[in-house]
Amino acid sequence: MYFEELAVGQSAETVRVVTQADIVAFAEVSGDRNAVHLSPEYASKTTFKGVVAHGMLSASFISGVLGTKLPGEGTIYIGQSLRFLAPVRPGDAVVTRVTVKEIRATAKSRGEVICLTTSRVGDVIVIDGEATVLVPKLNREAA
């Protein structure tokens, strides 16, 4: 969507079931090979009592919503705050919701938009936060 098409309150979400394969892929791509994400034997002895997904894996789903749904293609991600509130385990369905909170008009070819981001597994909020993005304007010349 273009900047002009956005309105406060608009929202979009994705649902992703986190698999052990996703966790392995994330361990590979991030380099975070902490055994709490990869070894059931080790993880069972930690405070988590079992394997948990990387917090940043669930957080990256936010990037997925922003980049593909709301605002979508062309979005430039400039900031994100995250509070990791509860663990996500393999098999959990993470619902990642992005809601437009504030629209800041700027004089440039892109406008700044603040979005609330909420990640849930069932009724439990696992991550909450706020994203800041730049969204291309429909009419760049006029801007």
Partner 1 sequence: MKIENLLHLWPGKDRHAIIENRTYDEIVVGDSAAIERTLKHQDIQLFAIASGDVNPTHLDDDFARDCGLNAATGHGMWSAALISAVLGVKFPGPGTVYTGQNLRFHAPARVGDTLTAMITATAKDDATKRVKLDCVVTNQSGALLVSGEAEVIAPTQKISREITRLPDLMFEDKAARYERLIGISKGLEPVPMAVVHPCDGQALRGALDARDAGLIVPILIGPEEKIRAVAAAEGMALDGVSIIDVAHSHAAAETAVRMAHEGEVRALMKGSLHTDELMSEVVKRDGGLRTSRRISHVFLMDLPTYSTRLLITDAAINIEPTLEEKADIVRNAIDMAITLGIERPKVAILAAVETVHPKMRSTTDAAALCKMADRGQIRGGLLDGPLAFDNAVSLAAARTKGICSEVAGRAEILLVPDLESGNMIAKQLEYLANAVAAGIVLGARVPIVLTSRADNAKTRAASCAIAQVLAHAKNRHNG
One-letter amino acid for residue 99 of the chain? T
User: Which residue stretch of 5-13, 51-59, 100-108, 111-119 sits at the interface with partner 1 (rule: CB under 8 A)?
Assistant: 51-59
With CB under 8 A as the contact rule, the residue among 1, 6, 12, 16 that binds partner 1 is 16
Spatial neighbors of 62 by CB under 8 A, at least 6 apart, are 80, 96, 98, 117, 119, 127, 129, 131
Place of tokens 């990642």: 96
With CB under 8 A as the contact rule, the residue among 50, 74, 125, 138 that binds partner 1 is 74
Pattern 25-44, partner 1, x by CB under 8 A: xxxxxxxxxxxxxxx--x--
Tell whether residue 6 is a contact of partner 1 (CB under 8 A). no
Pattern 77-116, partner 1, x by CB under 8 A: xxxxxxxx--------------------------------
**Residue 115, beta-bridge partner list:** 100, 131
Q: Which residues bind partner 1 (CB under 8 A)?
A: 14, 16, 22, 24-39, 42, 46-47, 54-57, 59-68, 72-84, 136
